[in-house]
Amino acid sequence: MDTEFFLAWLTGAAELVRRHRDHLTELDAAIGDADHGTNLDRGFTEVLQALDDWPPTSPAQVLLSAGTTLIRRVGGASGPLYGSAFRQMGKALETPVTPAGFATAFEAGVRAVERLGKAVPGDKTMVDALVPASRALAQAVQEGVEAREAFERAARAAEEGAKATIPLRARKGRASYLGERSVGHEDPGAASSALIMAALAAVS
């Protein structure tokens, strides 16, 4: 997995976020500020621009640039959370990048989200998609499967985790203020996390 692989991942993620921007915003309208799709679309557009303006020379630089841009440019909680995830991944990533090394770095990124958001699985947040994805990826790597299958397993786990937030009552973020009214809605952060993992599977 070289620099071009990571650039392709983020480009694919930006495309998926844009394609699903209105849906993400609709999800957020039900339990949040109704801006998740718009903010994330703007953020990933800024990420691609930054990567074009200052071309990275390593996978770690791709992730660090993306993370810094998201933190600086995206409002709400999603910018700092996704930004911290990418930055921590970049810091933890070792070159050359192997599937095992990627899985380790990805886990570090997920832990950064958990620390910053003070969230755990079951709180109805993006963690509900990211943690299962990380676990599935680690398990696949341990089994020695090819990278493509490992990333596809992670993407499926993220999607299943996002859907599993629908019956949950939110315990973190703005949605938590709704109490029982948060039940029955998919968490927008978990939904966007699943899109980002789908983009990873698509370029593997």
The residue-averaged pLDDT of 174-185 equals: 61
Q: What are phi and psi of 118, to 5 degrees?
A: 50, 45
Is the four-CA dihedral 85, 88, 92, 93 of positive or negative sign? positive
pLDDT per position as a tens digit, 12-46 = 999 999 999 999 998 878 767 778 888 999 999 99
Whole-number mean pLDDT of the chain? 90
Query: pTM (2 decimals)?
Result: 0.92
pLDDT band, very low/low/confident/very high, at 171 (cuts 50, 70, 90): low
Is the four-CA dihedral 34, 115, 51, 94 of positive or negative sign? negative
- The pLDDT of residue 64: 97
- The pLDDT of residue 182: 57
Q: Cβ neighbours of residue 156 under 8 Å, at least 6 residues apart?
A: 136
- Tokens 């341990």 belong to 142
Of 103, 15, 105, give the one whose Cα is nearest residue 63.
105
Q: How many residues does the chain have?
A: 204
The residue-averaged pLDDT of 79-92 equals: 95
Contact of 44 with 18, CB cutoff 8 Å:
yes
Residues 9, 12, 13, 16, Cα dihedral to 10°: -160
For residue 198, the one-letter residue type is A
Of 189, 178, 194, give the one whose Cα is nearest residue 31.
178
pLDDT at 101 over 80: yes
- The pLDDT of residue 29: 81
Least confident of 24-28, 104-108, 123-127, 165-169: 165-169
- The pLDDT of residue 177: 46
pLDDT band, very low/low/confident/very high, at 173 (cuts 50, 70, 90): low
Q: Where are the domains of the chain?
A: 3-203
Q: For 70-178, where are the E strands, in sequence order? A: none
Q: Cβ neighbours of residue 145 under 8 Å, at least 6 residues apart?
A: 153
Q: How many whole angstroms separate alpha carbon 54 and alpha carbon 153?
A: 33
Q: Does domain 3-203 have CATH number 3.30.470.30?
A: no
Q: How many whole angstroms separate alpha carbon 159 and alpha carbon 140?
A: 17
